């Protein structure tokens, strides 16, 4: 053992001169950590005689002498039992642990918190969802740095989990791989659908249908028995939402960036392919360490452009804008709303995926998975194949061995026959959103919407109005404004899936547009605009809109304006506006509200404007 003293050695000769550790550049006494060693971080505590206490603690957890010289791999999962997206991640972590140990490395498992969006949706619990991204990123960064692990394998399962672990990887910049927990299988109706038609086409249903079913039940187009049938059967087991919702969007974005192994985004939860991925991840992390390939070698501007492009091509979630901006901030990559605007303008929508289409991630897996899809899309020149990936090879090199899509498949269209010629995610500006807003418009809803404003100061107020059936078709086109739900005002920028689903179920989706300074679930559909900046809590124009104001939303002209309000009237409203107190007085949400930047900057908290 290198840490044993030979006769005549002097302890002080092998004790580090620097007593304060720098986690980015650890001291590595040449006596103990040879050039090219894979334990260059963990050697700080395993090979230094002055760290005897550290070594004693490691012996206490079962390490043996020969393992003190091996690299330590942090295996971090976002496991908790209360959510199908995450409930199976402990099993994946155990499989990775075995594979890491078989590769003669030391597995160090750890865990962190999670929030189930689908469980907290429509309640004040949803305020904690987006800010959990910051806690997860901070906790991964904390344990990896404090414990001096040499590399990281992260196992996330739900939307905020994935950007969080990628943010931590960028901050740490040690060899890292993301292993996505995988998508859920679809549920099936057991009761004949009512007039709502939910699940009528092929019997398949998912979590999104539960929100539509509520509106249909209120509208009496779905019976109580049918409503309960949807709820009971929508989620048949473990895995994250199976449409191109936020979880699948971020898993796809990570794979397109090169931060997960080929097929990770499309290998379903519980599948043999997902279990084999665990072993492959252990092999790949060793390659990254041997080649000294780190996250910032992979997370370059072209990699982020690949991620945005894939999001546009597959009809991904608007939450990708928040998350990719935040990851880029951690990676010190210059990414802004302008990049989303630029890429959206030249990228068609090609995938017929839920929530607005017909297919799920499990369907894509049957077609050859994400490697086959990326190979197909690369043939049209959409992706940059030169980017480095966690395999130690470029994306183009990975795709050479990928299968081809079946000739008769209809889930992914060729570039010559798009669903929409430009991206469905549009960045809008105007007097309602001078700092920008994010729209999700597939074209099926139309490309422009005009209507009279109906304003609500909380999501709850809107839901109460929908329950009372106060919003009717005979009122004409209505632009529903939901404000004070932004990063600070919410606080936490809650998602608006519940009212959106209720509007769908009530059959009002063709005469209502939803506008909010909050955000939307990836499962949301319809004419929806979120991330309005500045938010109402900061006195943005969305706080000054009044019932009856005419609002125009033009996705082609990329504009959102209140018409007929003069500058003098805007100024009068500004003077009359009184900033409301924050909804929280203490705790984690207060810290978040005080630190968070606006949605156009990714809602990050480690680069707050007043620091």
Catalytic one of 521, 524, 555, 600: 521
Per DSSP (E only), the strands in 2-47 are none
**For the chain, percent helix, then strand, then coil, each to nearest 5?**
40, 15, 45
161-172 helix and 127-147 helix, angle to the nearest 10 degrees: 30
Q: Do 118 and 241 touch, CB atoms closer than 8 A?
A: yes
* Cα(170)–Cα(167) distance, integer angstroms: 5
**Sign for the pseudo-dihedral over CA of 156, 317, 473, 428:** positive
Distance set, CA 426 to CA 338, 443, 510, 528 (Å): 10, 11, 19, 11
* Cα(597)–Cα(436) distance, integer angstroms: 14
Q: Provide the pairing of β-strand 527-533 with 512-516.
A: parallel
Nearest to 280 by CA among 447, 107, 99, 45: 99
- Is 77 a residue of the active site? no
- Contact residues for 549 (Cβ-Cβ < 8 A; gap 6+): 452, 453, 562, 563, 564, 565
Tokens of 451: 């209507």
* Cα(389)–Cα(177) distance, integer angstroms: 10
DSSP-based three-state secondary structure for 337: helix
Q: What is the DSSP string of 347-414?
A: --B-B-BTTTSSB-HHHHHHTTHHHHHHHHHHTTT-S-TTSB-TTSSBHHHHHHTSPPPPTT--SB--
Which are the catalytic amino acids? 521
């Amino acid at each position: 053992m290198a840490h044993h003293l030979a006769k005549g050695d002097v302890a002080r000769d092998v004790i580090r001169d620097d007593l304060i550790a720098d986690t980015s550049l650890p001291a590595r006494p040449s006596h103990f950590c040879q050039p090219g060693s894979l334990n260059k971080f963990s050697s700080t505590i395993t090979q230094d005689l002055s760290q005897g206490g550290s070594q004693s603690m490691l012996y206490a957890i079962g390490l043996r002498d020969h393992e003190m010289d091996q690299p330590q791999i942090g295996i971090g999962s976002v496991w908790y039992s209360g959510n199908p997206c995450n409930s199976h991640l402990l099993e994946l972590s155990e499989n990775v642990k075995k594979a890491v140990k078989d590769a003669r490395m030391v597995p160090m498992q750890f865990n962190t918190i999670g929030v189930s969006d689908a469980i907290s949706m429509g309640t004040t619990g949803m305020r904690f969802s987006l800010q959990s991204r910051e806690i997860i990123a901070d906790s991964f960064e904390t344990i990896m740095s404090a414990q001096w692990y040499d590399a990281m394998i992260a196992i996330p399962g739900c939307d905020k989990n994935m950007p969080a672990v990628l943010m931590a990887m960028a901050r740490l910049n040690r060899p890292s791989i993301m292993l996505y927990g995988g998508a859920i299988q679809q549920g099936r109706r057991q009761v004949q659908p009512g007039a709502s038609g939910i699940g009528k086409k092929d019997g398949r249903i998912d979590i999104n249908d539960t929100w539509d079913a509520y509106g249909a039940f209120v509208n009496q187009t779905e019976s109580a028995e049918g409503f309960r049938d949807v709820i009971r059967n929508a989620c048949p087991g473990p895995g994250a939402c199976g449409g191109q919702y936020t979880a699948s969007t971020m898993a796809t974005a990570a794979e397109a960036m090169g931060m997960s192994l080929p097929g990770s985004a499309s290998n379903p939860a519980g599948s043999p392919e997902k279990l084999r991925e665990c072993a492959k991840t252990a092999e790949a992390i060793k390659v990254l360490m041997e080649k000294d390939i780190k996250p910032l070698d992979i997370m370059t501007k072209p990699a982020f452009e690949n991620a945005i492009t894939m999001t546009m091509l597959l009809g991904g979630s608007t939450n990708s804008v928040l998350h990719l901006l935040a990851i880029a901030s951690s990676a010190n990559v210059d990414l802004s709303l302008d990049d989303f605007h630029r890429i959206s303008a030249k990228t068609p929508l090609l995938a017929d995926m839920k929530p607005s289409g017909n297919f799920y991630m499990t369907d894509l897996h049957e077609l050859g998975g994400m490697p086959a899809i990326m190979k197909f899309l690369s043939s049209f020149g959409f992706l940059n194949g030169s980017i480095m990936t966690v395999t130690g090879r470029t994306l183009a090199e990975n795709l050479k061995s990928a299968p081809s899509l079946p000739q008769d498949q209809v889930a992914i269209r060729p570039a010559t026959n798009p669903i929409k010629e430009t991206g469905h995610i549009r960045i809008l500006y105007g007097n309602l959103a001078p700092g920008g807003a994010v729209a999700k418009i597939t074209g099926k809803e139309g490309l422009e919407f005009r209507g009279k404003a109906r304003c609500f100061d909380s999501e709850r107020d809107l839901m109460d109005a929908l329950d009372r059936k106060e919003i009717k078709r005979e009122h004409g086109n209505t632009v529903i404004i939901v404000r004070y739900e932004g990063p600070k005002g919410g606080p936490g920028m809650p998602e608006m899936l519940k009212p959106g689903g209720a509007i769908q179920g009530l059959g009002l989706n063709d005469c209502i547009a939803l506008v909010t300074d909050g955000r939307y679930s990836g499962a949301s559909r319809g004419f929806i605009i979120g991330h309005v900046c500045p938010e109402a809590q900061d006195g943005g124009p969305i706080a000054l809109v009044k019932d009856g104001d005419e609002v125009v939303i033009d996705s082609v002209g990329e504009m959102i304006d209140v018409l007929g309000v003069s500058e003098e009237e805007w100024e009068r409203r500004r003077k009359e506006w009184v900033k409301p107190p924050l909804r929280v007085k203490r705790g984690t949400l207060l810290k978040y509200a005080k630190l968070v930047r606006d949605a156009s900057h990714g809602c990050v908290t480690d680069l707050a404007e007043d620091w």
